[in-house]
């Protein structure tokens, strides 16, 4: 369960997992769901919580398309 304190704090954040999870899933993964795919940027939210052994309640990973066509992690946010 994500605390309301955390929700308020993350509302200024474009990678707010609450807002991301309100969107349709672009591609469901085993550990992460893909919520945004612009072709150059992908945003995932973890499906796992602390109870599952994850680092936080709603881990957000942002990947960018690099030269050579591989995706690299450019940002990670721990939430809750």
Is the Cβ of residue 56 or residue 68 nearer to Zn ion in the bound state? Answer: 56
Query: What span, in angstroms and rounded, lies between the C-alpha atoms of 1 and 11?
Result: 17
Buried b (16+ CB within 10 A) or exposed e, 40-63: eebbbbbbbeeeeebebbbbbbbb
58 binds Zn ion (CB under 5 A): no
Q: How far is the CB of 37 from Zn ion (least distance, A)?
A: 21
Among 59, 61, 63, 80, binds Zn ion (CB under 5 A): 59
What residues make contact with Zn ion under the rule CB under 5 A? 55-56, 59, 78
């Amino acid at each position: 369960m994500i605390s309301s304190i955390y929700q308020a704090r993350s509302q200024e954040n474009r990678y707010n997992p609450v807002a991301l999870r309100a969107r349709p899933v672009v591609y469901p993964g085993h550990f992460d769901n893909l919520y945004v795919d612009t072709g150059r940027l992908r945003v995932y939210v973890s499906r796992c919580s602390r109870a599952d052994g994850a680092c936080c309640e709603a881990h957000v990973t942002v990947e960018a398309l690099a030269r050579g066509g591989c995706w690299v992690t450019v940002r990670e946010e721990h939430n809750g």
